[in-house]
Amino acid sequence: MKIKRRKTKKIRVGDIFIGGEAPVTVQTMVKVDAHDIKAVVKQIKEQEEAGGDITRMNVLDMESVKNFGAIKKQIKIPIVADIHFNYKWAIEAVKQGVDKLRINPGNIGSVDRVKAIVKVCKERRVPIRIGVNAGSLEKDLLEKHGGHPTAEGLVESASRHIKILEDLDFDQTVVSIKSSDVRLMMAGYRLFSKKYDYPVHLGVTESGPPRKGTVKSSIGIGGLLEEGIGDTIRVSLAGGSREEIRVGREILKSLGLMKGPVLIACPTCSRTQFEMIPLVKRVEKYVDKLDAEIKVAVMGCVVNGPGEAREADVGIAGGRGAGALFVKGKVIKPVKEENMFEELVKMIDKIVEERRKK
């Protein structure tokens, strides 16, 4: 059952698109010092390898803004400059060749300053993301909406920023409405999506360390995507950027919004008679690197495993000292425990190769 995605405006970011019919993209951020070009490039290359579609970098001074040009030359994925308050940095970042700006026009100081930013963005076809955050909602909006952030308040804030850009005849805009409160963030995006057709960047902000953050993001981001809302996503974790990408991609794959390898593994139970978890970890590492659509299963027993993982293309089910290799739920051959990984990988490669030839 395919998700019916909300129709949004198509915005170009470098050589990819956000919104319209474009596939949902996965974003992350640079988490090393923006002054250290070598470290930034190294990290972005790792993000590219992990499957990140877009990266973003925060800047603290003009010196690091001026690094965007050198960084841009050494990376493949689009880079976004995240800038608060300083319009000169925003203009310089665009001149350095960034693919998108993340700024809030209402925080830039004056319409003339925003005008100057919009002028260079138009000239260089650079879009802008407006990022509304529950933690920094304008004081008057907080007061108006009962003293705390609400979906209505968040959307009203987004509307203000949008209006500033629209008055300057600029509509290459992506919007995010983030909160660390999952339900508030969901309500904000839902309300926004009823009013506007600008594409949205989904995220649960400050979602926490990997386990907590993965759960919150899966509910918030995944729930909205399932409703058809969301054009690009970022899983914010107090952890590495590659982990953010991995979780983001898994959310998309779980919803059928991204093609790629899928690993099924049973939770194990008292029937399991071999060391299954280390095997799952090895298989996961292997499968994650595949650029192919294949469902692989690792199951804890031969009795139920092949049947329970019927929808997998290929799988291994273990037993005491030995197991069975199965394809589409049917056992193909017995396998010794020490050969399980190699036999499974051989069969995975065979299936991938056959599909490639077709």
Per the DSSP assignment, residues forming a β-bridge with 102 are 82, 129
CB of 285 to ligand SF4, least distance (A): 21
Nearer of residues 184 and 301 to ligand SF4, judged by Cβ: 301
Out of 272, 279, 296, 312, point to the residue binding ligand SF4 (CB under 6 A): 272
- Residue 266: count of CB within 10 angstroms of its CB: 20
CB of 252 within 8 A of CB of 26?
A: yes
Nearer of residues 94 and 301 to ligand SF4, judged by Cβ: 301
CB of 270 to ligand SF4, least distance (A): 7
Nearer of residues 96 and 268 to ligand SF4, judged by Cβ: 268
Residues in the chain, overall count? 358
Separation between Cα atoms, residue 81 and residue 76, nearest integer Å: 15
Stretch that binds ligand SF4, among 92-100, 101-109, 263-271, 286-294 (CB under 6 A): 263-271
Separation between Cα atoms, residue 223 and residue 240, nearest integer Å: 23
Residues 297-336, mask of contacts with ligand SF4 (x by CB under 6 A)? --xxx--xx--x----------------------------
176: exposed, middle or buried (Cβ count in 10 Å: 0-12, 13-18, 19+): buried
Stretch that binds ligand SF4, among 162-170, 195-203, 218-226, 260-268 (CB under 6 A): 260-268
Nearer of residues 78 and 319 to ligand SF4, judged by Cβ: 319
Out of 142, 268, 292, 351, point to the residue binding ligand SF4 (CB under 6 A): 268
Nearest-CA neighbor of 189 among 133, 126, 246? 133
CB of 134 to ligand SF4, least distance (A): 41
Per the DSSP assignment, residues forming a β-bridge with 56 are 29, 80
* Cβ neighbours for 259, distance < 8 A, ≥ 6 positions apart: 253, 293
Structure tokens at 145: 């909406």
Separation between Cα atoms, residue 186 and residue 224, nearest integer Å: 7
CB of 299 to ligand SF4, least distance (A): 4
Separation between Cα atoms, residue 206 and residue 161, nearest integer Å: 22
CB of 357 to ligand SF4, least distance (A): 32
CB of 323 to ligand SF4, least distance (A): 11
Residue 232 contacts ligand SF4 per CB under 6 A: no
Out of 163, 183, 211, 271, point to the residue binding ligand SF4 (CB under 6 A): 271
CB of 274 to ligand SF4, least distance (A): 10
Dihedral sign from CA coordinates of 159, 117, 61, 56: positive
Tell me whether strands 11-13 and 100-102 are parallel, antiparallel or unpaired: unpaired
Residue nearest to ligand SF4 (CB): 300
CB of 309 to ligand SF4, least distance (A): 8
Separation between Cα atoms, residue 330 and residue 56, nearest integer Å: 46
Interface positions with ligand SF4 (CB under 6 A): 266-269, 271-272, 299-301, 304-305, 308
